[in-house]
Amino acid sequence: MTTPNAAVPNAAILDQTVTAEGVKLPVYMDNHATTPVDPRVLDEMLPYFREKFGNSASRNHPFGWAAEEGVEQARERIAKLIGATAKEIIFTSGATESNNLAIKGIAEMYREKGNHIITQVTEHKAVLDTCKHLEKLGYRVTYLPVAKDGLIDLEELKRAIDDKTILVSIMAASNEIGVLQPIAEIGAICHERGVIFHTDAVQAVGKIPIDVNKMNIDILSITAHKLYGPKGVGALYVRRKNPRVQISAQIDGGGHERGMRSGTLNVPGIVGLGKACEICMNDMAEDTKRILALRKRLYDKIMGALDECYVNGSMEHRLPGNMNISFAYVEGESLLMGINDVAVSSGSACTSATLEPSYVLKALGAGDDLAHSSIRFGLGRFNTEAEVDYVANKLIDTVTRLRELSPLYEMAKEGIDLKTVKWAAEPAH
């Protein structure tokens, strides 16, 4: 067993060591960044690399027909998972493209009707950056704030909708803090006011029940690699009835996917996405139960051993596998260094390259120092109790050790209110 806090050399990445308790290292607990491909998904995909390699748009021979069959079966499976019809599913290269297509596609199509879009501050960059781009083109975007628990205020949404509003885009579940927005209520409001409702449901699909009709969702983004499917493939649900929603294609060239998204389909990827959705539908209840128990175990162990740990975002409205905790007086990167045979994130995966304080945590009102001290755990289908125990123990050891090293912890224990301290001016970063 590796000694606690022994620095693991950088190079020894995925050579699997196994602890005395049978835990394979490194442990993967970052399922919001991506998920391992389920073996059943891979099995389903392989024939489409081997014998069934045809282009699904080849109408005239068995190679094309076999590929098309695989694609259409996948379409059905995805539709079933979210309560849609197969005709309403189109395929993309992933969530970022789906979000771009949804938002830009609506903005362009409904330009005559209006130029106002409503979204919120903790959306994924794929949505926020797309909105910023549209602002440069003359669209008006309202970014709704969130409360301390990470949720938007429905009354504020109602007030924000005006006669030029053509789209509301609110994510179903946050990738960083796992918080679940009130999608059904938002859908009802939008439906009543005649505004199209898009949701980036990338983290939610397959993990919590989604029904596009019950929830009044008009467009919805999905990606395979967050639900145990392969990277490089996603989908967009586009409502056909009540109301019929139209989007302007962002990629031209052949008119595939009912003219909404040209390009030869990633057949094996799509087959994988379809199978992943089918598995999620069948296993959701069981997986949820098990993952919730694992999360509770992790939470209880950490909170039982350490003081001054703060959960970021609502615990009540949250994805089963997500835990995001700030460990006061300990800096995030040094924390990650101490648990470097555990794969988790500090801040969102997309911003960890710069290690800037997470914009999502700042939106919750967390101070910069708590944002710097946060760790995001993403539990998933393949995590075990033994892994949770290993991670919890390693984390507790590291936080304890780093607090011994921390002048802030020392000052706090002396009763000094850190907010009142005048810190020495230091060179700007």
Partner 1 sequence: MAYSDKVLDHYSHPRNVGAMDKSSADVGTGLVGAPECGDVMKLQIKVNPTTNVIEDAKFKTFGCGSAIASSSLATEWVKGKTIDEALEIKNTEIVKELALPPVKIHCSVLAEDAIRAAIGDWKKKQEAIKGAPVATPVHAD
Catalytic residues: 350
What is the length of the chain?
429
Asked if residues 271 and 71 have their Cβ atoms less than 8 Å apart, the reply is yes
Residue 3 to residues 14, 165, 191, 280: CA-CA distances in angstroms?
18, 58, 58, 38
Among 17, 333, 365, 382, binds partner 1 (CB under 8 A): 333
Pairing of strands 309-311, 219-223: unpaired
- The smaller minimum CB distance to partner 1, of residues 252 and 410, is found at 410
- The smaller minimum CB distance to partner 1, of residues 50 and 428, is found at 428
Give the residue from 399, 27, 366 showing the smallest Cα distance to 176: 366
Residue 367 lies near partner 1 (rule: CB under 8 A): yes
Q: How many helices (H) and strands (E) does the chain have?
A: 12, 14
Residue 5 lies near partner 1 (rule: CB under 8 A): yes
Residue 423 lies near partner 1 (rule: CB under 8 A): yes
Q: How far is the CB of 372 from partner 1 (least distance, A)?
A: 5
DSSP label of 212: T
Q: How far is the CB of 334 from partner 1 (least distance, A)?
A: 5
- The smaller minimum CB distance to partner 1, of residues 59 and 422, is found at 422
Pairing of strands 219-223, 196-200: parallel
Q: Quote the tokens at residue 407.
A: 């002048």
State the DSSP H helix or E strand holding residue 144, giving kind and residue range, or none if neither. strand 140-144
Give the residue from 157, 154, 133, 158 showing the smallest Cα distance to 143: 157
- Cα–Cα distance for residue pair 95/103, rounded to 1 Å: 12
Pairing of strands 309-311, 342-343: unpaired
Stretch that binds partner 1, among 58-66, 188-196, 292-300, 365-373 (CB under 8 A): 365-373
- The smaller minimum CB distance to partner 1, of residues 318 and 376, is found at 376
For residue 198, the one-letter residue type is: H
> 302 to 331, contacts with partner 1 by CB under 8 A?
329-331
Residue 13 lies near partner 1 (rule: CB under 8 A): no
Asked if residues 281 and 305 have their Cβ atoms less than 8 Å apart, the reply is no
- The smaller minimum CB distance to partner 1, of residues 138 and 427, is found at 427
Cα 157 off chain centre by: 22
Residue 351 lies near partner 1 (rule: CB under 8 A): no
- The smaller minimum CB distance to partner 1, of residues 192 and 368, is found at 368
- Cα–Cα distance for residue pair 372/393, rounded to 1 Å: 21
Q: How far is the CB of 423 from partner 1 (least distance, A)?
A: 4
Give the residue from 129, 57, 318, 104 showing the smallest Cα distance to 198: 104
The dihedral through the CA atoms of 324, 326, 332, 334 has a sign that is negative
Q: How far is the CB of 146 from partner 1 (least distance, A)?
A: 21
Residue 368 lies near partner 1 (rule: CB under 8 A): yes
Residue 334 lies near partner 1 (rule: CB under 8 A): yes
Q: How far is the CB of 242 from partner 1 (least distance, A)?
A: 50
- The smaller minimum CB distance to partner 1, of residues 91 and 329, is found at 329
Give the residue from 29, 22, 21 showing the smallest Cα distance to 340: 29
Among 76, 185, 369, 389, binds partner 1 (CB under 8 A): 369
Among 39, 138, 304, 427, binds partner 1 (CB under 8 A): 427
Query: Which neighbouring-strand residues pair with 24?
Result: 18
Q: How far is the CB of 19 from partner 1 (least distance, A)?
A: 19
- Residue 128 gets the label, from left (phi > 0), alpha (psi -120 to 50) or beta, of alpha
Count interface residues toward partner 1 (CB under 8 A). 30
Q: How far is the CB of 65 from partner 1 (least distance, A)?
A: 49
Residue 6 lies near partner 1 (rule: CB under 8 A): yes
- Cα–Cα distance for residue pair 124/350, rounded to 1 Å: 9
Q: How far is the CB of 20 from partner 1 (least distance, A)?
A: 21
> 378 to 407, contacts with partner 1 by CB under 8 A?
404-407
Residue 410 lies near partner 1 (rule: CB under 8 A): yes
Residue 372 lies near partner 1 (rule: CB under 8 A): yes
- The smaller minimum CB distance to partner 1, of residues 83 and 367, is found at 367
Please give the residue ranges that form the binding site for partner 1 (CB under 8 A): 5-7, 10, 329-331, 333-334, 337-338, 355, 357, 367-369, 372, 404-410, 418, 423-424, 426-427, 429
